[in-house]
């Protein structure tokens, strides 16, 4: 699954276009490497996402094409969340 679609479906980022912009600015890393919005994710990948003054680190647990709001959080595990 593409990085931008995962971020939208998991509801980490509300809109896919916003996820694409953040990724293309180099503010998302997958397994320690800067990722583009088209990067393919697999289960077990670690994402580090920079939101302005906040950094979120998550692990991909599940990849599904669509999900309900209640089940979206089961797609990832938050490893750390830091305010800079």
Report pLDDT for 66.
87
Question: What whole-number distance in Å separates Cα of residue 84 and Cα of residue 3?
Answer: 24
pLDDT in tens, the chain (84 residues): 999 999 999 999 999 999 999 999 999 999 999 999 999 999 999 999 998 889 999 999 999 998 888 888 899 999 988 886
List the chain domain ranges: 3-83
The strands making up 76-83's β-sheet, listed across from edge to edge, are 33-34, 28-30, 46-51, 54-60, 76-83
Question: Around Cβ 6, how many Cβ atoms within 10 Å?
Answer: 24
Query: Which residues face 2 on adjacent strands?
Result: 40
Superfamily grouping for domain 3-83: RNA-binding S4 domain (3.10.290.10)
Residue 76: its pLDDT value, please?
A: 93
């Amino acid at each position: 699954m593409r990085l931008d679609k995962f971020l939208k479906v998991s509801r980490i980022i509300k809109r896919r276009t916003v996820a694409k912009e953040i990724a293309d600015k180099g503010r998302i890393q997958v397994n320690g490497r800067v990722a583009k919005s088209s990067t393919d994710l697999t289960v077990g990948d670690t994402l580090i996402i920079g939101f302005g003054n906040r950094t979120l680190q998550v692990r991909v647990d599940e990849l599904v094409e669509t999900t309900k709001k209640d089940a979206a959080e089961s797609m990832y595990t938050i490893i750390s969340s830091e305010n800079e």
